[in-house]
Structure 1
Amino acid sequence: MSSLASVCLHPQCDPSFPIRVGFLSAHNYLDLTQWSGTLFYMQQALVQNGLQVTHLGTPKVYPTWQRKLLGYREKLKSVLVPPPFYPPIRRQWLNQVEKQICEAGCNFIVAPIASQEISLLNTSVPIVYLSDSTAKLFCQEHLYTHVPGQQSQLDRATLDKIELFEAIALTKAVHLIYPSQWAAQSAIEDYSVAPSKVSVIPFGANLEHPPSTSEVLQNRHTHSLVPCRLLFIGVDWQRKGGDVAFQTLLELLHRNINAELVVVGSVPPPHIRHEKLTVIPHLDKNCPQHRHRLNQLLQHSHFLLLPSRAECYGIALCEAGAFGLPVLTTDVGGISTIVRNGQNGYLLPLSACGLDYADRLVQILADPAHYQQLVVGARTEYDQRLNWNCWADSVQRLLLSLENRCVSSRASL
């Protein structure tokens, strides 16, 4: 764990004592489609690491058909009657959460991306807040990635409310956990949070059954680099840098390099078409067949190409590491916490174009030994940092340390 706040266990603090955690989020954290599945794997990792976790709120697991039906209904409702930023029914929901907290006897509330809920929650139980960004960074990213001429989903008044909820939540929380130094630094500089109150713990790869290290290295060692298979994963074509990825493919082909690009999760604009381009518009991680297909793409591709224009973190980058897949991406947002130049891939500046990405790819392809080093480095980064077991272990040690401080504080009264 890279931490701005050191985690030191008190001699009297028993690491085997089960911490009782209430898990709270604004999203349905039992649904793998919510927040790329991160919340699901987050709470699962805490349970598997021995913490007693109480699911706060009303998370549900919906079958695929029902989830789609609910999604269509919400879209229709939002068109006919735009929903308020904070519906009145949410107060009733919070009352239920407060009752659950009392009944469960929680030592802590672990609340990822729940700044609005935290700001209105009435409880004396210490809150640990998690997010991949701050409201300040979110608002900046929203303004940066907004397409001119299109109506913004968030007006200035709404963005101001988001900022207000965030400021209250960061004040109420006893500790803040971010997956990147970029986000942690914003909490310190933009919200005057004490560095001792902030920890940096990278999120892991959202994989139920990751391949073994030996399996990955053996598979990569026998792979031919011809054709060069590039993989692009992202729902937002513009924000993920889809145009740059396509330009990279064209540049490689122009240099007579046999290359292919597979796009997963988005549909490029109509003019983006090529026989070497394959588009898979959607893969549902809740569907085993779809998850298997995505794993196959990660396993058989040679590079994850993700020239993002803006990015808070990038779980897909962690998943690439599990498959020993080197990454070429942009040095924006929290990505530099995941990708280390020359270790598991390369970071290019935001100004880099398809020509620049092609140059880097050509250099790597010309040196197969270097490519194998990147493969080993990618899997090593996953094994040592970018998995949920490492994350949960660091969070548990942090909670034990915080609990010890609470006990010591009460004893001194």
Structure 2
Amino acid sequence: MKKIAFLSDGDPRDKSLWSGTMYMMYSSFIQLGYEVEWIPATKYTEKEINFIERVASIHEKILNRTFNRYQNLTKAFIASRRIENKLKEADFDLLFVSNAINDIVFLNIKQPIIYVNDILYDQHINYYPAYKGLGWYSKKILRYLEKKALQKCSAVLLPSEWSVDRAIDYYKLPSDKVHLLRFGANIDVPQKNNFQPKKLTQPITFLFLSVEWERKRGDIALDTVELLVKKGYNVKLKVVGCIPPKESNLMEVIPFLNKNNPKDYQELKDILVSSHFLFVPTEAECYGVVFCEASAYGLPSITTATGGVTSIVKDGINGFALPLNAKADEYAKIIEPFLINESKFQELSKTSRARYDQALNWDVWRNELRNILNKIFEK
């Protein structure tokens, strides 16, 4: 039996880690018949963190730009050395690395490496808040480290065309090394034979499922619902995962549900069953497993064409992804035809589920992983 060393920041057996994605990847190896051992990613000492902070402070004073405290030479040298020493004591045939780019930049091992992430770190630059305002030095080092790490991998797994294209075009990775493997739904879903397309029961519920109201732009979702009410539609917004900074009698708010709690987990599934649309007009998104989960339950997704979202949401098939500058009236215009024609809405619900069955599930991910592993071990 082949043995896999699974390198990740956090125990992949924890279903709450990375919204359950880590657990699903870990389980996939076991289902494929491999023995898996978790290798914890490097944790830095207080002394090391303080040193990096001093370097960052000097950098920021001189250049007046933000220093990247996440991917830098100091962390990469420390992490790669520690992981290499740790792996000398491990018996494994392949190293599977989730996100931990610092740990493999300067790593020297004879076994093949597979790397997976939901986005390239290069794509964080000026996209996510923590990577805005970086100095030229930080950007140059980040890209140097990422390129060096990816080049030594036998396979790089990314879930969106957005990231796959960037890896090939910018980092010049061979196209046969970079693989598009979309993540699936991290929740129990109705069996295909038991699936029933949704009906326009009243009130029509738009689900805003996110822990971040501002970045996922809940205000646009609320403005759209308010506009639809003014047009005479019986609609409401159900907010799950956060507390909005404003109140509205059109909103039902459930601040937090824990998937590890059976009662909360069942409530989340019930909410997906009773809702009609997923409405998350996000400002930035590397991928968005929530859109896969919506499709699994036959919910069309109303969202934004940003980041990796359009790798999941295809217009007219399992929802619509509008331009980033779209306003509430534009969202209402897209939604309204489905509120007045139930057969049209039900057809969109059917094709949303079909999109899940064809491309947005872990069976597809696992089958593609099997093929990649077979090719690597054949070499």
- TM-score tier by shorter-chain length is 0.7 to 0.9
Residue of 74, 87, 92 corresponding to 1:98? 87
Deviation per CA, 1:210-253: give whole Å up to 9, x if none: 22123331xx45x4432110001112222212121111111111
Q: RMSD between aligned alpha carbons?
A: 2.7
- Matches of 1:368 and 1:306, distance apart in 2: 22
| Cα distance in structure 1, aligned partners of 2:125 and 2:228 | 36
Match among 335, 342, 345 for residue 319 of structure 2: 345
Q: Is the 1:180–1:201 contact (alpha carbons within 8 Å) kept by the matching residues of 2?
A: yes
Aligned to 1:13: none
Note if 1:113 corresponds to 2:99.
yes
C-alpha spacing 1:34/1:120, structure 2 compared with 1 (3 Å): farther
- CA-to-partner distance for each residue in 1:337-370, whole Å, 9 max, x for gaps? 1111111111211121111111111111122112
Cα contact 2:205–2:275 (8 A) shared by 1: yes
Q: Percent sequence identity over matched residues?
A: 32
Instruction: Give SS of 1:39's match.
Output: helix
Task: Give the C-alpha shift of residue 380 in structure 1.
Answer: 1.4
Q: Where do residues 3-402 of structure 1 align in structure 2 (5 Å cutoff)?
A: 19-57=2-40, 85=70, 86=75, 90=79, 93-95=82-84, 97-100=86-89, 103-106=90-93, 108-143=94-129, 161-207=141-187, 209-217=188-196, 220-221=197-198, 223-269=199-245, 272-402=246-376
Deviations 1:288-313 (A, max 9, x none): 22221111111110000011111110
The answer as to whether partners of 2:305 and 2:321 remain within 8 angstroms in 1 is yes
Offset at 1:34?
2.3
Q: Secondary structure at the match of 2:182?
A: coil
Structure 1, unpaired ranges of 5+: 1-17, 60-73, 147-151, 407-413
SS at match of 2:176: helix
Query: What secondary structure, in the 3-state scheme, does the structure 2 residue paired with 1:23 have?
Result: strand
CA drift at 1:96: 5.5
CA distance in 2, matches of 1:267, 1:205: 24
Give the Cα–Cα distance (whole angstroms) in 2 for the partners of residues 230 and 132 of structure 1. 26
> Alpha carbons of 1:299 and 1:156: their partners in 2 closer, same or farther (altered >3 Å)?
farther
Q: Whole-Å Cα distance in 2 between the matches of residues 166 and 87 of structure 1? A: 10
Any conservation in 1 of the 2:80–2:105 contact (CA below 8 Å)?
A: no
Structure 1 range deviating more: 157-166 or 360-369:
157-166
- CA distance in 2 between counterparts of 1:175 and 1:284 reads 34
Contact 1:145 1:310 in 2 (8 A): no
Matches of 1:319 and 1:380 in 2, distance apart?
12
Higher relative contact order (CA 8 A, sep 6+): 1
Aligned structure 1 segments of 4 or more residues deviating by more than 4 angstroms: 81-85, 87-93, 143-146, 154-161
Q: What amino acid maps onto 1:36 in structure 2?
A: S
SS at match of 2:36: strand
Inter-partner Cα distance in structure 1 for 2:95 and 2:116: 11
TM-score when normalising by structure 2: 0.85
**SS where residue 236 of structure 2 aligns?**
strand
Question: Secondary structure of 1:104's partner?
Answer: coil
Go from structure 1 to structure 2 and tell me whether the alpha carbon gap of 1:131 and 1:258 turns closer, same or farther (over 3 Å shift). Answer: same
- Shift in alpha-carbon separation, 1:56–1:38, aligned structure 2, 3 A: same
Against the structure 1 CA distance between its residues 242 and 97, is the aligned structure 2 distance closer, same or farther, given a 3 Å change threshold? farther
Paired amino acid for 2:3: R
Deviation digits for residues 147-190 of structure 1 (CA, Å, limit 9, x no counterpart):
xxxxx8x7776555443331221111121111111000111122
Structure 1 length-normalised TM: 0.79
Report the residue type matching 1:34 in the other structure: L
What is the letter of the counterpart of residue 347 of structure 1?
A
Aligned length: 355
Match of 1:409 in 2: none
**CA distance in 2: counterparts of 1:104 and 1:319, whole angstroms:** 36
Structure 1: distance between partners of 2:131 and 2:277: 25
d(CA) in 2 for partners of 1:395, 1:293: 32
Cα 1:82/1:20, change in 2 over 3 Å: same
The answer to whether the 8 Å contact 1:31/1:286 transfers is no
Question: Unaligned 5+ residue runs, structure 2?
Answer: 55-68
